[in-house]
Amino acid sequence: MSSMKRNATPSPSQPPPSDVDDQSPNITEEVDHAMNEFYNGNPTKALSLVKDILSRHPNSALAHNTLSYLLDKSLDSTATPDHKKLKNAKSSVNSSKRAVELCPISLSFWYSYVIALVKLAYNDNNAGFEAVIQACDTSLSIENPIVHGEDEIDLIRKNLRLFKLRSVYLIDTKYLGSITNEIQELQDRKEEIELRAVSARKNFKTQELASSDNKRKLKNVKKVAADVDTVATRVKAYWNHGMSMDQKKDLLRIGIEDLKLHFAKNNSPAAMAVFMQAVEYVKVAKNWKFWTCCCCSERFFDVELNREHIKSVHLGTFSDESQSVMPEIEFDSVHDTVESRKWGPVDVIAAKKMMEDLSRNRRGDEGLNESTVFMNQKEWPYCKDSRRDKVINEIRARLRLFLRVRFFVSSHLLVFMDLIMEMLKKRIPEQLLKEHWMNRTLLSACFLDISELNRVLKFLDDLAHICGLYGLCSSLAKDKIRGEFRVAYHEKIVFNEDFSCVVFDKRMLHGELLVPNDGAAVTSSANAEIVLNDDECKDAIMDWLLKGGTNINIGEQLKQWANLRETSRSQGKDFFKIYEAEFHRMQNILEKKILYLRYIKVFQNLDSICVEEDKRREEFGRKPLSYESLLSERERQTKNTYDGNFESDIIWYILEENHEDNEIKLEIKRHISEINEKLYKFDGIIRTTTIAMQQTGKKIEAVTAYDYRSIMVPLLKSFILERLDELAKKDAEEKSKAAAKALLSEPDLDDKKNTTDKGCGDARQGKGKSKEKMKKKNKRKPKELQATGGSKEHQENVEQISFPAEHGGDNPPNPEIFGPVITDELGQDKPKLMPEEEKEQRTLEEHLEDQRHVENEAKQERLAELNKAGSSAGNMEKKCLRRINFDDFNWKYFYQAQGVKLDEK
């Protein structure tokens, strides 16, 4: 804006300040003397006199104001070097500021202070014009200012308002030049926060696992490795060879009460608390996911509720007036033109001739339809021009980018079309262009020559650059890539309807470990019974179960869960700070747009006054009225109306330097053009800020979103692994007992040979005896033992003896070894044992008692060895047998008694 001629700077001798030092007439006389020296061309002497006054009267507001005035005048001299100007400008501000502090109701002193601030802003890039606006607002709010004459009060106030208007304009111009850097800085901060948080989460997990492993390894590296390997081997073997499909399915169904006992057994009340918290949450939300406010930690089960909470409670909302000036997005019609139409260079001369021919042949509505044929490109005269074609495609690419991110708004479309029409009407009459609707389609750009096309391309690039669009689009592209690699998948676990069980999806049994993360946490059709064959069972679930080791540390899992939430909340706070900055930027831009809409409305009204006067001059041919007189009359009319000062100040500002009609008209047009340029740039910043806020909001939602499965799955895995290991141990123990039983039932071949030599040699003859005799001998009852003093326990056990055939079959033992056996089914009495038989029986019982003692010791030893090294049951049992002397008694009674022993076990 141009400088004002009506500066009306009040004399330093006005008005008499209220400070005690200024009450003396001597001060006024001394100040007047100093000013006379200045007017007589002695500025140095004048400055010296004023400084002398202040040395004697440091609280003289008049002297401080005069010193500021003299220092300001020194800035106008070309002889003053730049560094000296900056020093004098700062000193002038300090002096005038001291003057208004000593006499705060003096409008004259405030005006001098505003002038000093303006000159400092021009000489110091770091000063800015914000202080000017603040000083203007303060001075204009004084209710009873001290000045000489009412007219001078009005004049000073008008100047203060104009200084404010000029400062706003300069601030906004500077702001538009720096907004790109501001937007880019915030985008860089977002990237930095996200990368730092991801790295922190990865490092924490690695450090925690490494720390845990190191602690265990420091205790006993070999032992830990051996134990882990043993457990993994045991559970894998049991899973693959010892479990049915139904058992495997049951393993994925975990009772809540069983899980509570598991936590109690592991002494983990914290795990119990987290688990019950998840259960109570899922009962209400029916989902594993939840969001936590990064500001106050309030939990929400719906992301929209979290979003609205942040905006309404912690951020704020835009006023209705601000909402009303949000730009309207252009998409559908523009998108159709950009994507569905042919873009290429058009022969302008041929196109002009076609339009002229169509216009001459118009006949009512039919002619209108004919004219649309040209607008619809059906017969456009395209030409070959590689240079134009290249730039046209670049313009089209920019428009596609604008549309993709919803950046293109109505003001952009309007300026884009005005720019094209401004250049195109130089070769094709404007009326002809409008007649064929060429002012309504983006395709008009295809009619421009190479230099004009470059101008359009520069307009689009400048618009994108000043709004920070390119940097924002780059950031959005990175987010998209990260999002594609960060597709949410999770183990499918749900509660049953009465929340008594939590169930893993049975599809995990044939390798489908992860499913899309819908977050559903209650039973559904997706968890219906799945028919699986044994051969469909995969090892993937075992790899999943054993991943991370066989000893899942619940405490470490809970620590990681707590750390995840703390890290995410910290990251959310960092993003919220950016969110706030973007919100305040949006508020600022909307307020600027509201102000400039008021400006342009005033300038458009003034322009219409001039246009109406032009029409009157043409229609009636009367003596014209000057624009200056018309605008001055308008100023008087609006002076006492609502917002009259605003329009009055603008009129006064225009007439300050322009008095001729052409000058006034051009000044009004220039302001309208400049304001329109600011408005469409404001709209661009509003759109990029809106897009950036949406991006930041999504980042906040992403980092403050949690999934209870993140902690539930490790807890459930620890339970399943412990349960599976217990089942594997139990199965191994049962198999070990069975092996021991089979081993102890087998006669040692060498011992059997020795026994046969001592009295069982006739056993070979038994092979020729009849089957009936064999059956009778097999039915012999143990009453023989009773006749020889055998215990009741032995008698009862002997009745249940079943002898293995061929070391484990169903055939009865050799009757020659055990002798005749008489059944008592008919109540018949049995023969008594012979004396030598009774002796052998007593010897046998003593040896059996020794054997029980040895076996009990061996059993404990065997269990320990199985846990440590997996020693076979056969070796353990043979070791037990080697500790017994088998040569001291008759072997036929050993086999008979051994049958009792096996039954007892």
- Asked, as a colleague might, if the bond just before 16 is cis with ω within 30 of 0, I would say no
Give the DSSP per-residue string, 821-837. ----TT-PPPPPPPHHH
Range of lowest pLDDT (222-231, 273-282, 597-606, 893-902) = 893-902
Tokens of 173: 């111009």
Closest CA to 726 of 32, 262, 201: 262
Rounded distance between C-alpha atoms, residue 585 and residue 577, angstroms: 12
- Could you tell me if 430 and 421 are in contact, meaning their C-beta atoms sit under 8 angstroms apart? yes
Residue with tokens 């688990």: 275
For the CA atoms of the chain, what is the radius of gyration?
51
Closest CA to 643 of 597, 679, 586: 597
pLDDT at 838 over 80: no
Residue 152 counted as domain residue? no
Range of lowest pLDDT (152-156, 371-375, 827-831, 859-863) = 827-831
One domain for residues 115 and 243: no
Q: Taking the model in full, what pTM does it have? A: 0.73
One domain for residues 579 and 713: yes
Residue 716 counted as domain residue? yes
pLDDT at 521 over 60: yes
Chain-centroid distance of CA 514 in Å reads 22
- Could you tell me if 75 and 88 are in contact, meaning their C-beta atoms sit under 8 angstroms apart? yes
Tokens of 137: 């607002």
Q: How many residues does this entry show for the chain? A: 905
The pLDDT value recorded for residue 349 is 93
The pLDDT value recorded for residue 905 is 37
Closest CA to 512 of 492, 534, 486, 483: 492
**Final residue belonging to a domain, choices 455, 482, 509:** 482
- Sequence-distant (6+) residues with CB within 8 A of 596 are 172, 675, 678, 679, 682
Residue 202 counted as domain residue? yes
Indicate the DSSP class of residue 538.
-
One domain for residues 677 and 611: yes
Rounded distance between C-alpha atoms, residue 719 and residue 697, angstroms: 38
Residue 107 counted as domain residue? yes
Closest CA to 200 of 547, 563, 475: 563
pLDDT at 525 over 60: no
Q: Quote the domain boundaries for residue 30.
A: 25-147
Rounded distance between C-alpha atoms, residue 723 and residue 726, angstroms: 5
Sign, CA torsion 33/36/41/44: positive
Range of lowest pLDDT (283-297, 369-383, 496-510, 860-874) = 860-874
Rounded distance between C-alpha atoms, residue 746 and residue 727, angstroms: 29
707 pairs with which residues across the strands? 289
Closest CA to 803 of 747, 884, 879, 735: 747
- Could you tell me if 542 and 285 are in contact, meaning their C-beta atoms sit under 8 angstroms apart? no
Instruction: State pLDDT tens for residues 445-454.
Output: 999 999 999 9
What's the domain count of the chain? 3
Closest CA to 604 of 676, 682, 681: 676
User: What does the angle CA 818 – CA 819 – CA 822 come to, to the nearest 5 degrees?
Assistant: 105
The pLDDT value recorded for residue 685 is 96
One domain for residues 709 and 588: yes
pLDDT at 770 over 60: no
One domain for residues 622 and 671: yes
Sign, CA torsion 383/388/389/395: negative
- Could you tell me if 336 and 604 are in contact, meaning their C-beta atoms sit under 8 angstroms apart? no
Q: Say whether 329 sits in a helix, a strand or coil.
A: strand
Q: Which whole number is the average pLDDT over 800-805?
A: 38
Range of lowest pLDDT (56-65, 165-174, 757-766) = 757-766
- Could you tell me if 724 and 251 are in contact, meaning their C-beta atoms sit under 8 angstroms apart? yes
Q: State which of 130-144, 812-826, 872-886 shows the largest mean pLDDT.
A: 130-144
Q: Say whether 318 sits in a helix, a strand or coil.
A: coil
One domain for residues 303 and 348: no
- Sequence-distant (6+) residues with CB within 8 A of 479 are 695, 698
Indicate the DSSP class of residue 888.
S
Please count the CA atoms within 13 angstroms of the CA of 796 that sit on its side-chain side.
4
469-485 and 150-241 helices cross at what angle (nearest 10)?
A: 20
Q: Say whether 299 sits in a helix, a strand or coil.
A: strand
Beta-carbon neighbour count of residue 658 at 10 Å?
19
User: What does the angle CA 23 – CA 29 – CA 31 come to, to the nearest 5 degrees?
Assistant: 90
**Final residue belonging to a domain, choices 739, 759, 778:** 739
Residue 540 counted as domain residue? no
Sign, CA torsion 190/192/195/201: negative
The pLDDT value recorded for residue 21 is 63
Please count the CA atoms within 13 angstroms of the CA of 507 that sit on its side-chain side.
13
Instruction: State pLDDT tens for residues 457-484.
Output: 999 999 999 999 999 999 999 888 887 6
Residue 166 counted as domain residue? no
The pLDDT value recorded for residue 204 is 53
Give the DSSP per-residue string, 392-426. HHHHHHHHHHHHHTT--BHHHHHHHHHHHHHHHTT
The pLDDT value recorded for residue 480 is 87
Tokens of 533: 């064959």
The pLDDT value recorded for residue 363 is 53
Tokens of 761: 């040699």
Rounded distance between C-alpha atoms, residue 776 and residue 828, angstroms: 14
Residue 521 counted as domain residue? no
Q: Which residue pairs from 257-261 have beta carbons closer than 8 angstroms and sit at least 24 positions apart in sequence?
A: 257/500, 258/719, 259/502, 259/715, 259/716, 259/719
One domain for residues 562 and 696: yes
Instruction: State pLDDT tens for residues 95-135.
Output: 999 999 999 999 999 999 999 999 999 888 788 899 999 99
- What region, left, alpha or beta, does residue 6 occupy, with left being phi > 0 and alpha being psi -120 to 50 degrees? beta
Instruction: State pLDDT tens for residues 536-592.
Output: 666 788 888 888 667 778 888 888 888 888 888 999 999 999 999 999 999 999 999
Beta-carbon neighbour count of residue 309 at 10 Å?
17
Residue 510 counted as domain residue? no
The pLDDT value recorded for residue 326 is 95
Domain with residue 61: its CATH number is 1.25.40.10
Run of H or E including 290? strand 289-292
One domain for residues 299 and 349: no
Q: Say whether 5 sits in a helix, a strand or coil.
A: coil
pLDDT at 530 over 70: no
503 pairs with which residues across the strands? 253, 494
Closest CA to 895 of 722, 790, 747, 736: 747
Rounded distance between C-alpha atoms, residue 134 and residue 113, angstroms: 11
Residue with tokens 């088998």: 886
**Final residue belonging to a domain, choices 706, 723, 739:** 739
Rounded distance between C-alpha atoms, residue 888 and residue 318, angstroms: 105
CA 607 → CA 110, 612, 661, 672, distances in Å? 34, 9, 11, 9
One domain for residues 243 and 382: no
Rounded distance between C-alpha atoms, residue 423 and residue 232, angstroms: 80
- Sequence-distant (6+) residues with CB within 8 A of 75 are 85, 88, 89, 92, 119, 123
Q: What percent of the chain is modeled with pLDDT above 70?
A: 70
Provide the edge-to-edge strand list for the sheet that holds 253-255. 253-255, 501-504, 493-495
One domain for residues 677 and 699: yes
One domain for residues 288 and 349: no
Per DSSP, helices labelled H in 286-363 are 303-309, 320-324, 332-340, 348-360
CA 782 → CA 825, 837, 892, distances in Å? 12, 14, 14
- Could you tell me if 115 and 152 are in contact, meaning their C-beta atoms sit under 8 angstroms apart? no
Range of lowest pLDDT (64-68, 517-521, 808-812) = 808-812
One domain for residues 318 and 335: no
**pLDDT-derived band at 806, boundaries 50, 70, 90:** very low
Q: How many helices (H) and strands (E) does the chain have?
A: 34, 8
**pLDDT-derived band at 328, boundaries 50, 70, 90:** very high
Rounded distance between C-alpha atoms, residue 279 and residue 290, angstroms: 13
- Could you tell me if 270 and 558 are in contact, meaning their C-beta atoms sit under 8 angstroms apart? yes
- Could you tell me if 28 and 16 are in contact, meaning their C-beta atoms sit under 8 angstroms apart? yes
Q: Say whether 514 sits in a helix, a strand or coil.
A: strand
Beta-carbon neighbour count of residue 197 at 10 Å?
19
